[in-house]
Amino acid sequence: MKQMMIMALTMCCMTTAQERGIINNSTSPNSKLRSIDLDQVRWTGGFWKQKFDLVKDVTIPEMWTYFNDGGNSHWTNFRLAAGLAEGRWSGRSWHDGDFYKWLEAVAHVYIVTHDSVLDHQMDDVIAVIAKAQQPDGYISTQIILEKRKRFENIHHHELYNMGHLMTAACIHHRATGKTNFLDIARKTGDYLYETFKDRKPELAHFGFNPSNIMGAMELYRTTGERKYLDLANIFIDMRGSRPAGSRHYGLGGTDQTQDRVPLRKETEAVGHAVTATYLYCGAADAYMETGDTTLLAALHRIWSDVARRKLYLHGGVGPLTRGLSIRNDDVHEAFADPYLLPNRKCYCETCSNIGNAMWNWRMLNITTEARYADVMERVFYNSGISGLALDGDHFFYSNVLRRLSSNVPLLRSDTPERWKHRAGYCCPPQLARTIAKMHGFAYSTSENGLWIHLYGSNELKTKLSDGTAVKLIQETDYPWDGDVKITLEPARQTTFTLWLRIPNWATEATIKINGSPIKSDIKPGTYVTLKRTWTTGDTVELNLPMHVKLIQANPLVEELRGQVAVMRGPLVYCLESIDLPDNVNVMDVRLPRNIHLQPRFDKQLLGGVVVLEGKAVAGVDSDWSGEPFDSPVLYKDYTPTDPRLVRLRLIPYYAWANRGAGQMTVWMPLD
C-alpha cells in the first residue's frame, strides 16, 4: 500500500526539474554570488571531462557492483530494512550516508547525461529507501535492524546518514523534477525537527559529523519550509552548548568534535577535520539565509587560522592521525597545533580536503573574495582528487606529502597503493559526487554579472539577472596550459560584467578582448572586472603564464624548513622513486636554488600530464642505508661528499602512486 502510494507520487510529480547549483543559494539574501543551475554547464573536453567520464563510466558503476556484492553491506542493509531480504545488519554505522553520497553522484551525472537507465536505477533504489524509512520519518538502517535506541551514541552516525539523505534527495529532485526522494527527505526533516526542536540537553552532542546541517539547509532551500532552516540552526547552536562534564569523546563536548566551544566563540580550527569542515559549510549555509554575522565572524576567524597556520600546500587539512600524539584515542584525523604540518604522517583525509573546498566555495559565494577560490582550486587539482586512482576504481583516504617506505604502515588507512574496497568507504562516494558536479564550481552569477572561477573546456548556457540568455564557451588545455579562450554569445547585445578569476599563482597574466590587449593592472589573486556591452562572437583571451615555481613555507613550519616544493599553475608536483635512477633514494635529492625545470606534456604518461624535467643534485651524505626506520641511531656526523647531478622528473601530485608502490615526496631540500 505504502509502496503504491510512493509510485503514484513518483509518476504524478514528473514536473519540470528545478535545476539549481550545488548549493541552492539562488534566493539566499546574504550571498553576493549565486551558484549556477547544474544543467547549464558541461565539460566539453580536457581535464575535467576526462575525470567526469571516468566517474560516470567506471567509478559509479563499479561502486554499485560493490554495493550489490553480497559481501558488502551498503545496499544490503537498505533491502533488509525494507523487508526485501532477510539477514542481519552489517557494516559501519555511517554506510547509509555513504550510499546516499553515491546516489547524489548518480543524480549529478544524470543532470548531465539524462541517461534514462540512471533515472530508473535511482527510482528503484529510492523505492527501497522509502520502504526502509520508519513511519515517523526516521531512517538509519543499523538502528532499525538492530532495534537499538535512537540517539544513544554519537558514533551511530544517525544524523550523518540522514543529513546525506536530505542533500541527495534535493539533488535528485533538481535532477529529475521528481519528488519520490524529496518526500522521504521531508519526512526525515520533519522527524528531526520534532526530535530536536526542544533542544534536549541529552541530544546536545549528536550530529557530530554534521552533514545534517547542510542537509537541512538544502531541504529548506528546496522546499522553502522555514522549519528546516530552524532545524539547521538548532544543530549549530547545540554544538558547544554543553562542554562541561566528562571530556570523553561522545560523552561531552570535546574539541575533537568541535563541541567544546560554541562555534560563534571559536577562534581556531580544531578536531576531526571532516566534521570541522562540514560544520563550517553548514554554518556558511546558515549565514547565507539568516545573515547572522556572529557566525560569519567565527568563520572568518577560523578560516584565517587555517589559511595562515594549518593548510597543506596541496589544500589538505587535518594532519593528526590516530597516534601522532602518542597513543591517544581522543584526538585523531584532526587539525593539529598551528604550523604543525608533518609530510609523512599527515592524514589529510580525502573527505576533509573536499570538505575544505566545499567550505571555501561557500565563503567565495558569500564574499566574492578570490582567496577562497584559490584554496578551492588548490584542493580540486591536488588533494581533492589524489584519492582517486587513474583507473577510477581505487582510493586513498589519506593524502600524504611524503612516503619513504612501502613496508612500514604508519597510518591505519595508508597503504602503499590505493585500495579498491574497504569497510570504511566514505571517501570513494565523496570523490564521485564531487567530480560529478565539478562543473557547478566553475561559475557563479551576480546582479548583472557572470563570474568564472574555474577554467576548463566547457559550455555554459545561462541567463543574466536581466533575463538575457548567454552562451559562453571556454576552450583551453588548462591546467596543462594557461591559454583560455572564451567566446560569448548573448542572445542580444547587452551590457554586463564578466568577472575573470586571476589565480594567486598567476603572475604576468594578460587579457585580450577581441584580440586587443586590455591595459588594466592584472593582479594575481583577484577577479578582473570586464564590464562592457557584449555582442555575439566576442572573444576574451586570457593567458595565465604557467611558470614553474619553487615554493617555500613559513619558517615556523618546522617540517618544511630549508625545503621547497614545485608548482606549475594550480598543480603541486612531486618526485616519485620510479622516476629516479635505481641507486638514488628520494630523500637523497636536493634542488639547486637556481634549478631550471622544463615542462613537457607527456601524452602517454599517467593519462597525459605535463612533467617537469631538469637536473637535481643527489648527495649520498643523507644516506641512511635506504631504510631509515631500521637505523639504530637518530643522529650521525654529516660529511659532505661530492654531489652528482641526476635527471629529475616531477609529476603532478594528484597522479602519484599509479605506477606501483614506491617512495614519494612533495618537499625537497634546497642545495
Nearest-approach distance from CB 591 to its own copies, in angstroms = 10
Nearest-approach distance from CB 584 to its own copies, in angstroms = 14
Nearest-approach distance from CB 508 to its own copies, in angstroms = 13
- What the block records as the C-alpha cell of 294 is 556572529
Task: Specify the DSSP class assigned to residue 388.
Answer: B
Question: Could you give the strand order of the β-sheet that contains 510-513, starting from the edge strand earlier in sequence?
Answer: 41-43, 458-463, 469-476, 483-490, 538-543, 510-513, 516-517
Nearest-approach distance from CB 492 to its own copies, in angstroms = 44
* Residue 150 vs 549, nearer CB to its own copies: 549
* Residue 134 vs 622, nearer CB to its own copies: 622
Place of cell 588507512: 413
Query: Residue 438: phi, psi to the nearest 5?
Result: -55, -35
- What the block records as the C-alpha cell of 26 is 539562488
* Residue 128 vs 341, nearer CB to its own copies: 341
At position 494, the amino acid (one-letter code) is T
Residue 114's closest CA among 51, 56, 179? 56
* CA atoms of 397 and 413, how far apart (whole Å): 6
- Pairing state of beta strands 443-446 and 449-452? antiparallel
Residue 135's closest CA among 187, 206, 196? 187
* Residue 269 vs 464, nearer CB to its own copies: 269
Other CB atoms within 10 Å distance of the CB of residue 303: 21
* Residue 117 vs 634, nearer CB to its own copies: 634
Nearest-approach distance from CB 396 to its own copies, in angstroms = 20
Query: Quick check: 371 and 377 in contact, CB under 8 A?
Result: no
* Residue 125 vs 591, nearer CB to its own copies: 591
* Residue 244 vs 633, nearer CB to its own copies: 633
Q: Identify the bridge partners of residue 449 per DSSP, sorted by sequence position.
A: 446, 497
Nearest-approach distance from CB 217 to its own copies, in angstroms = 27
- What the block records as the C-alpha cell of 242 is 554543553
Question: Could you give the strand order of the β-sheet that contains 34-35, starting from the edge strand earlier in sequence?
Answer: 34-35, 443-446, 449-452, 494-502, 526-534
* Residue 152 vs 623, nearer CB to its own copies: 623
Q: Identify the bridge partners of residue 74 per DSSP, sorted by sequence position.
A: none
Query: Quick check: 434 and 384 in contact, CB under 8 A?
Result: yes
Residue count of the chain = 671
* CA atoms of 333 and 343, how far apart (whole Å): 14
* Residue 162 vs 348, nearer CB to its own copies: 348
Nearest-approach distance from CB 260 to its own copies, in angstroms = 8
Burial of 63 (0-12, 13-18, 19+ CB in 10 A): buried
Question: Is the peptide bond prior to 135 cis by the omega test (within 30 degrees of 0)?
Answer: no
Q: Identify the bridge partners of residue 647 per DSSP, sorted by sequence position.
A: 615
At position 557, the amino acid (one-letter code) is V
**Contacts by residues 470-474 (CB-CB < 8 Å, ≥ 24 positions apart):** 470/494, 470/496, 470/534, 473/44
* Residue 333 vs 541, nearer CB to its own copies: 333
Nearest-approach distance from CB 583 to its own copies, in angstroms = 17
* Residue 24 vs 257, nearer CB to its own copies: 257
* Residue 270 vs 452, nearer CB to its own copies: 270
CA 516 from chain centre, in angstroms, equals: 38
* CA atoms of 499 and 631, how far apart (whole Å): 56
- What the block records as the C-alpha cell of 640 is 659532505
Nearest-approach distance from CB 328 to its own copies, in angstroms = 5
* Residue 255 vs 576, nearer CB to its own copies: 255
Nearest-approach distance from CB 426 to its own copies, in angstroms = 22
Element (H, E) at 458: strand 458-463
* Residue 3 vs 641, nearer CB to its own copies: 641
* Residue 84 vs 251, nearer CB to its own copies: 251
Nearest-approach distance from CB 418 to its own copies, in angstroms = 24
* CA atoms of 409 and 423, how far apart (whole Å): 18
* Residue 129 vs 313, nearer CB to its own copies: 313
* CA atoms of 666 and 313, how far apart (whole Å): 9
> CA dist 409 to 345, 406, 662, Å?
10, 7, 13
Nearest-approach distance from CB 666 to its own copies, in angstroms = 12
At position 567, the amino acid (one-letter code) is M
Nearest-approach distance from CB 471 to its own copies, in angstroms = 37
Nearest-approach distance from CB 663 to its own copies, in angstroms = 11
Nearest-approach distance from CB 553 to its own copies, in angstroms = 6
* CA atoms of 170 and 108, how far apart (whole Å): 11
Rg over alpha carbons for the chain, rounded to the nearest Å, is 25
Nearest-approach distance from CB 668 to its own copies, in angstroms = 9
CA angle 128, 132, 137 (to 5 degrees): 120
Nearest-approach distance from CB 256 to its own copies, in angstroms = 8
Other CB atoms within 10 Å distance of the CB of residue 139: 24
* Residue 179 vs 585, nearer CB to its own copies: 585
* CA atoms of 120 and 104, how far apart (whole Å): 14
